[in-house]
């Protein structure tokens, strides 16, 4: 069975889709696009589509990942086009590759988040970020499905910077000036999410944005040990498929 790895974005108003909404939409789009998806056996067969760590409801993303098992080999570019056409605008398919060896989820070590804070004060944000980074641990609380949990939001944060831009919500022609936070956060359990970091900023420096933040995941993937940069998690698959033509895959992966 061929497996295809898909990078997709959830943008604009469709950032309000929940994970379940997306999985229903993808299942339908797969059928509409005529992709020969494989099904599980049994009385109520399920299409073989798996998702890697979905961004929360209300959070936009440029880098969500899923994997589809198909019964007959497909051209990744055709799948990208067909699936994108069949999904509503705002759920956009950006990249499709044939899966190489190794799990995809394991490669998604870190996320790069952008958090726009319309109407927030930049200086206060900078002070808060400094204090946050200087702290050893910042304990925050969040209501999870299992009840209120308390955990450290500091350790997972590898980078936190403050800049300025405009908010680009919806149909406004001219955006309002806003503060932009960039956070590079390591995936851990329990997951530290951008709102946990915001809670942390409030705790260390009483920094509280006036309106709900607009959060976008810009990328997720493995952290390059040498450069410290975020790498494209599908590169390994691409290397591998190309490698399949040129020579033993293992050399390329190792290289």
Partner 1 sequence: MPVESIFHRLEALLPKVQKPIQYVGGELNSTVKDWDSADVRWALMYPDAYEVGLPNQGVAILYEILNELPATLAERTYAVWPDLEALMRAEGVPQFTVDAHRPVRAFDVLGVSFSTELGYTNLLTALDLAGIPLEAVRRGEDDPIVIAGGHAAFNPEPIADFIDAAVLGDGEQISIAITEVIREWKAEGRPGGRDELLMRLAESGGVYVPKFYDVDYHPDGRIKRVAPNRAEVPWRVHKHTVMDLDEWPYPKKPLVPLAETVHERFSVEIFRGCTRGCRFCQAGMITRPVRERSITTIGAMVENGVKESGFNEVGLLSLSSADHSEIGDIAKGLADRYEGTNTSLSLPSTRVDAFNIDLANEFSRNGRRSGLTFAPEGGSERMRKVINKMVTEEDLIRTVTTAYSQGWRQVKLYFMCGLPTETDEDVLGIADLAKKVIKAGREATGSRDIRCTVSIGGFVPKPHTPFQWAGQADHETVDRRLKALRDALRGDKEYGRAIGYRYHDGKPSIVEGLLSRGDRRVGAVIRAVWEDGGRFDGWSEHFSYERWMAAAEKAGVDVDWYTTREREENEVLPWDHLDAGLDREWLWQDWQEAISGGEVEDCRWTPCYDCGVCPTMGTEIQIGPTGRKLLPLTVV
Q: Is 61 near partner 1 (CB under 8 A)?
A: no
Query: Interacting stretch for partner 1, rule CB under 8 A, among 1-9, 31-39, 149-157, 177-185?
Result: 31-39
Positive or negative torsion for Cα 218, 223, 227, 231: negative
Residues 123-142, one symbol each (x = binds partner 1 by CB under 8 A, - = not), give: --------------------
Question: Minimum Å distance from CB 15 to partner 1?
Answer: 9
Helices 19-32 and 76-86, axial angle in degrees (round to 10): 110
Among 5, 9, 17, 125, binds partner 1 (CB under 8 A): 17
Instruction: Work out the angle at residue 243's Cα, subtended by the Cα atoms of residues 239 and 248, and round it to the nearest 5 degrees.
Output: 130
Position of tokens 């910042």?
Answer: 138
**Minimum distance between the CB of residue 169 and partner 1, rounded to whole angstroms?**
6
Name 147's bridge partners: 144
Contact 10, 91 (CB under 8 A): yes
Q: Does 78 bind partner 1 (CB under 8 A)?
A: no
- Per CB under 8 A, contacts with partner 1 among 155-214 are 169-172, 211-212
Question: Collapsing DSSP states into helix, strand and coil, what is residue 94?
Answer: strand
Task: Tell me the β-bridge partners of 118.
Answer: 178
Contact footprint for partner 1 (CB under 8 A): 13-14, 16-18, 20-21, 24-25, 27-32, 34, 39, 43-45, 47, 57-58, 86-90, 169-172, 211-212
């Amino acid at each position: 069975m061929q497996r295809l790895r898909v990078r997709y974005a959830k943008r604009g108003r469709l950032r309000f889709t929940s994970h379940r909404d997306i999985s229903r939409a993808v299942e339908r789009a797969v059928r509409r696009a005529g992709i020969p998806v494989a099904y599980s056996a049994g009385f109520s067969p399920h299409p073989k589509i798996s998702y890697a760590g979905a961004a929360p409801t209300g959070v936009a993303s440029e880098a969500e990942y899923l994997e589809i098992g198909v019964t007959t080999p497909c051209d990744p570019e055709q799948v990208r086009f067909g699936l994108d056409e069949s999904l509503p605008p705002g759920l956009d398919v950006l990249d499709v590759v044939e899966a190489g060896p190794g799990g995809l989820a394991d490669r998604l070590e870190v996320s790069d988040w952008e958090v726009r804070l319309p109407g927030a004060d930049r200086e206060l944000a900078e002070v808060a970020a400094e204090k946050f980074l200087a702290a050893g641990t910042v304990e925050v609380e969040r209501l999870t499905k299992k009840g209120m949990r308390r955990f450290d939001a500091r350790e997972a944060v590898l980078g936190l910077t403050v800049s300025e831009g405009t908010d680009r919500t919806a149909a406004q022609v001219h955006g309002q000036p806003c503060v932009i936070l960039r956070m590079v956060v390591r995936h851990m359990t329990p997951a530290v999410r951008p709102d946990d970091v915001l809670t942390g900023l409030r705790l260390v420096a009483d920094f509280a944005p006036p309106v709900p933040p607009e959060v976008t995941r810009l990328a997720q993937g493995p952290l390059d040990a040498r450069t410290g940069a975020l790498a494209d998690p599908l590169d390994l698959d691409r290397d591998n498929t190309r490698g399949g033509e040129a020579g033993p895959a293992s050399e390329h992966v190792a290289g």
